[in-house]
A = this chain, B = another copy of it.
Amino acid sequence: MKTHTDKSTLVEELLADIENFKIAHNCDRLVMVWWGSTEIYHEAQEVHSSLAKFEEGLRTNDPDIAPSMMYAYAALKSGVPFAMGAPNLCLDIPALEELALLTNTPIAGKDFKTGQTLMKTIVAPGLRARALGVRGWFSINILGNRDGLVLDVPENFKTKEVSKGNVLDGILNGEQNPELWGDIHHKVRIEYYPPLGDNKEGWDNIDIFGWMGYQMQIKINFLCRDSILAAPIVLDLALFLDLAKRAELAGIQEWLSFYWKAPQTLPELEPIHDLFKQLEKLENTLRYLMGEELITNLGMDYYQNVEEDASY
């Protein structure tokens, strides 16, 4: 815990911590993953718009520089890949994107995709695949630990709500298919409910419609535990960000979208939220890096076999 309030000094200390950790543990390479609580909601400001302005802000103690941004800054400055597991505005500001490219450091975020949003990006692609219309999607999460307590504060929940809210629109494209997905009432609620302790439950009510507008419903109750679903993500990210660093992939690691509620992309691109497209992106990128053939699931070799195999 840092007790100084001068942001430049704090960043200096973090840089020293990183260096000392590397020496103390005799590490060749490091990766840093933020797995802390959700910070209060910030919107991007002038101070975030370039590296120069950000560094000026550190010197002037700008209140819009959040703690997580200082950690990310220190990591990137040290050439250490950084991943943002919370929904904080952090890596997704021009200042830090600029720094990542400058130091050839991979970055990835944000907000680990576990629990209810994970389920949402599994089920929504299925509805899209079968062209089932969606009238509404009501999601409630009850959780009992400090995470729930933090999110019971409206300023913090706002950060989370924005991060969770875009998932459906990204998968069920209302502009392309206004009849099916142009008017989805998507509502997400998180409630602090101590009896669950470290467990968490999601209840989703999905109002869909099929052929001739016939209304149907899907209800999903997911009894899970955040830490259990998040732990392997942290491990994967540590390995893959290190791989990215060695493969000289600098900046935004969009091929790691698989792990995020709000995958970071270039400003002009839309994030991919469909878990299965994300998985294919991950797997085919790994195949590419290994020099292997990409999987397309094309079925035509089937008929070539048939033709070649006269004995069939």
Give chain A's interface residues, CB within 8 Å of chain B. Answer: 101, 118-119, 122-123, 125-126, 129-131, 135-136, 138, 140, 142, 185, 187, 189, 191, 193-196, 201, 203, 205, 207, 210-212, 214, 216-225, 227-229, 231-232, 249-252, 254-255, 258, 266, 272, 275-277, 279-281, 284-285, 288, 294-300, 302-303, 305-306, 312
Contact = CB atoms under 8 A, between A and B. Distances in A.
A219 B221 contact: yes
A235 to B, nearest CB: 9
A172 to B, nearest CB: 14
12 contacts: A122-B125, A126-B275, A131-B232, A185-B195, A211-B232, A216-B222, A217-B221, A217-B223, A218-B220, A218-B223, A266-B306, A288-B298
Contacts of A302: 252, 254-255, 266
Chain A contact residues, majority secondary structure: mixed
Contact of A294 (B191, B220, B298): B298
A224 B210 CA distance: 9
Given A140-B140, A191-B189, A221 B218 contact: yes
A129 B279 contact: yes
Given A217-B223, A266-B302, 12 more contacts: A119-B218, A123-B123, A123-B126, A129-B258, A136-B194, A211-B227, A212-B231, A216-B223, A216-B225, A255-B299, A280-B297, A295-B296
A211 B228 contact: yes
Contacts of A281: 297-299
A212 B251 CA distance: 33
Contacts of A279: 129
B195 A136 contact: yes
A68 to B, nearest CB: 23
A232 to B, nearest CB: 6
B220 A135 contact: no
B216 A224 contact: yes
B196 A187 contact: no
Contact of A228 (B195, B196, B210, B295): B210
A203 to B, nearest CB: 5
Given A275-B126, A298-B294, A225 B210 contact: yes
A95 to B, nearest CB: 13
Given A123-B122, A216-B223, A297-B281, A251 B201 contact: no
